[in-house]
Amino acid sequence: MTLLHASSIGISFGKVEVISDLDFSLSSGELVGLIGPNGAGKTTLLRVMAGLLRPDRGDVRIVGRPLQHLGRRQIAKSLAYLPQGGESHWAVTASTLVMLGRLPHRDPWRSPSDTDWKAVDQALVACDALQFKERPVSQLSGGERARVFLARALASEPRVLLADEPVSGLDPGHQLDVMTKLRGLARSGAGIVVVMHDLTLAARFCDRIVVLHNRRMAAEGNPEDVLSPTVLDQCYGIRAFHSSAGGNTIVVPLERTLREPGHGVG
Amino acid sequence: MTAVSVPGERIQEGWPLLYPLLILAVIAAFSASLLVGPAAIGLSEVFKALFSGNLETTVLIVREVRLPRALLGLMIGATLGLAGAALQGFLRNPLAEPGLIGVSACASLGAVLTFYTGIAGLFALALPIGGMTGACIGVLLVQALAGQGQSQMTLILAGIAVTSFAAALTSLALNLAPNPFAALEIMFWLMGSLADRSFQHVWLSAPFMILGCLMLATLSRPLDALTLGEDAAQTLGFDLRSVRYRLVIGTALSVGAATSVAGAIGFVGLVVPHLLRPLVGNRPSALLPASALGGAALTLAADVIVRLLSPGREIKLGVLTALVGAPFFLVLLLRYRKRML
């Protein structure tokens, strides 16, 4: 089932076109990796799909309904967005922060129900963060914070999760934990888009990889097909060592090619 | 060793005794405000005066002089505390205060203009009406300058621009004051005080303060969501444009009305939320009611202190809050500096 469909998306910031005529679709049960060089428009696309930016052209539908016809609260009930680098402006405890993920589902004037507390704890357990739920987020390490922010997104029990670089800054162990968690969530029926830079990790966990480059979708498909030497050269301007082990594609960037990055594919 | 949490266990955020203590403090300060004054009136007499139908001097003093003063202290303090907490939550800045968006400066200007033009002398309510008109014009200007967006930066910049302009015009009015007495009157009024206010002032300002405070009270959830930043708050289901609109209008009504009847009383809206924030577990929503109670207690207490300090020639309430507030600011600065090291 298609959970999210973006068709013919075009958006400009002033005179600079950031995304042009892009189609993207996300199905239930799918974990999609969104990759591309810096400035390719990954975050912009994610923000358009989250309803944070209105595209100049095209439209986004969630479960068949156009985003602009839905209220913010309605969108929030089925879609969660995890911004890059997670910020917490006040030193609230981890469980208070995760409880914010329940806001779309809560009665405006009621205190949290048993269902809310259960969802919060499940999300904390899922992200291996229950042990520090009483600690202020300001006192947590980078890895611990990343897990708490992911738990916040999970606590809203979204059908669509859009996560902007949720594993950057994490050690390999916690990168695996987070990706495993996201894949598990996809397997239980959600549709997930993850922006990431680690190509091998993307290949290992994502069902599909979408490469953004020069305002458009440069490639899309199975990880092993998409992460080809041609695509890496054209999009990133790099030559990489390719291998495969246990059915997983391994990509190790080796050197810059002569091509000037950012102007490869038209 | 860290204690292992049990799933499903509810956490008590903040300090459990905070609300009972704040309520007690408000009651104590309110009673003190009824008890303290040039005329020595005992506790039992105050109570008798409040509830009896006589028209003796004691009754008149308590009912017509001290009661409106105490009620205004209660409402204005609560308004300043609540508006300060709401603004700090919205701007996610512990140094924000209600004056930041230009409301206080414009209310002051409006009131000063009624002095300057002599309208203030014509009828008693001219001054607060002028103040509120100023606040309304100010907020419309700030909204127009800040544009239709939801950004906090444009709001701050528009607030600063309007505040500076209103302050300049206020100085101009002082500069061109028709006579030294008018200038003195303006100066005294600008210092902020609750002395010599009547029930007319209460009836005029109360509806606006209550309405404004109710609007600010609806912001508790979006302010919580804003802890995570603007993008996350929107994707949690909140329309930030409507949030900003409610914040600006709510502050204009409540703080505008407060400033129109009492002049500028600084630092309450800055200090109270700041002091109470750690005690409510840093949650913006929990800080709103706590800060309203704390603001009321502090303003009432300060108003009692000015009466005790120099009974003959009262120090203005705004002067006292600034005298206590400025060193507090220094302490804040030192604490931040220590944290930076």
User: pLDDT tens-digit profile of B298-321?
Assistant: 999 999 999 998 777 778 999 999
Q: Do B108 and B272 contact (CB within 8 A), yes or no?
A: no
Q: Is B283 on the interface with A (CB under 8 A)?
A: yes
Q: Do B130 and B119 contact (CB within 8 A), yes or no?
A: yes
* Chain A environment of B224 (Cβ under 8 Å): 100, 103
Residue-level pLDDT at B340:
57
State the sign of the Cα–Cα–Cα–Cα dihedral B26, B334, B329, B246: negative
**A209 — pLDDT class (breaks 50, 70, 90):** very high
* Two tokens, residue B37: 């004054």
Q: Do B138 and B107 contact (CB within 8 A), yes or no?
A: yes
Q: Virtual CA dihedral for B1, B7, B12, B13, nearest 10 degrees?
A: 80
Average pLDDT (A57-82) is 92
Residue-level pLDDT at B14:
75
User: pLDDT tens-digit profile of A148-173?
Assistant: 999 999 999 999 999 999 998 888 98
User: pLDDT tens-digit profile of A71-82?
Assistant: 899 999 999 999
Residue-level pLDDT at B1:
37
Residue-level pLDDT at B4:
45
Q: Is B277 on the interface with A (CB under 8 A)?
A: yes
Q: Which of B128, B120, B96 is nearest to B251 (CA)?
A: B96
Residue-level pLDDT at B3:
44
If you write DSSP's letter for every residue of A1-21 in order, what string do you get? -EEEEEEEEEEEETTEEEEEE
Which residue in B has a C-alpha nearest to residue A108's C-alpha?
B221
Average pLDDT (A84-110) is 90
Q: Which of B158, B115, B112, B113 is nearest to B139 (CA)?
A: B158
Query: Rounded distance, CA A66 to CA B76, Å?
Result: 46
Which residue has better confidence, A38 or B186? A38
What is the ipTM score, two decimals? 0.90
* A145: pLDDT strictly greater than 80: yes
* Per-residue burial over B145-157, b = 16 or more CB atoms within 10 Å of its CB, e = otherwise: ebeeebebebbbe
Which helix (H) or strand (E) segment is B190 a member of? helix B180-191
Residue-level pLDDT at A53:
93
Q: Is A88 on the interface with B (CB under 8 A)?
A: yes
Q: Which of A100, A111, A160 to mutate to test the interface with B (most CBs of B within 10 A)?
A: A100
If you write DSSP's letter for every residue of chain A in order, what string do you get? -EEEEEEEEEEEETTEEEEEEEEEEEETT-EEEEE-STTSSHHHHHHHHTTSS--SEEEEEETTEEGGGS-HHHHHHHEEEE-TT---SS--BHHHHHHGGGGGGS-TTSPP-HHHHHHHHHHHHHTT-GGGTTSBGGGS-HHHHHHHHHHHHHHT--SEEEEESTTTT--HHHHHHHHHHHHHHHHTT-EEEEE-S-HHHHHHH-SEEEEEETTEEEEEE-HHHHT-HHHHHHHH-EEEEEEEETTEEEEEEEEE-SSPTTSS--
Q: Is B2 on the interface with A (CB under 8 A)?
A: yes
Question: How far does the CA of residue A130 sit from the closest CA of chain B (Å)?
Answer: 7
Residue-level pLDDT at B232:
94
Q: Which of A71, A83, A104 is closest, CB to CB, to B231?
A: A83
Q: Which of B223, B231, B279 to mutate to test the interface with A (most CBs of A within 10 A)?
A: B231
Which helix (H) or strand (E) segment is B32 a member of? helix B18-35
Residue-level pLDDT at A77:
92
Other CB atoms within 10 Å distance of the CB of residue A68 = 11
Q: Which of A52, A93, A156 is closest, CB to CB, to B11?
A: A93
Name the least confident of A184-188, A254-258, B212-216, B267-271. Answer: A254-258
Which residues, given as ranges, of chain B have pLDDT below 70? 1-12, 53-55, 148-150, 339-341
* Residue B266 neighbours by CB under 8 Å, 6+ apart: B97, B99, B192, B318, B321, B322, B325
Burial of A213 (0-12, 13-18, 19+ CB in 10 A): buried
Q: Which of B153, B104, B89, B116 is nearest to B285 (CA)?
A: B89
Q: Find the length of chain A.
A: 266
Return the percentage of chain A with pLDDT > 90, whole number: 71
* Chain A environment of B242 (Cβ under 8 Å): none
Residue-level pLDDT at B150:
62
Q: How many helices (H) and strands (E) does chain B have?
A: 15, 0
- B5/A131 Cβ within 8 A: yes
Query: Rounded distance, CA B154 to CA B42, Å?
Result: 53
Residue-level pLDDT at B11:
55
Residue-level pLDDT at A259:
61
Which helix (H) or strand (E) segment is B206 a member of? helix B199-217
Q: Do B128 and B113 contact (CB within 8 A), yes or no?
A: no
State the sign of the Cα–Cα–Cα–Cα dihedral B278, B281, B284, B289: negative
Per the prediction, chain A carries an average pLDDT of: 91
**A117 — pLDDT class (breaks 50, 70, 90):** very high
On the CB side of A37, CA atoms within 13 Å amount to 19
Question: How far does the CA of residue A241 sit from the closest CA of chain B (Å)?
Answer: 38
Other CB atoms within 10 Å distance of the CB of residue B189 = 22
* Chain B environment of A81 (Cβ under 8 Å): 231-232, 235
Which residue in B has a C-alpha nearest to residue A93's C-alpha?
B281
pTM (2 decimals)?
Answer: 0.89
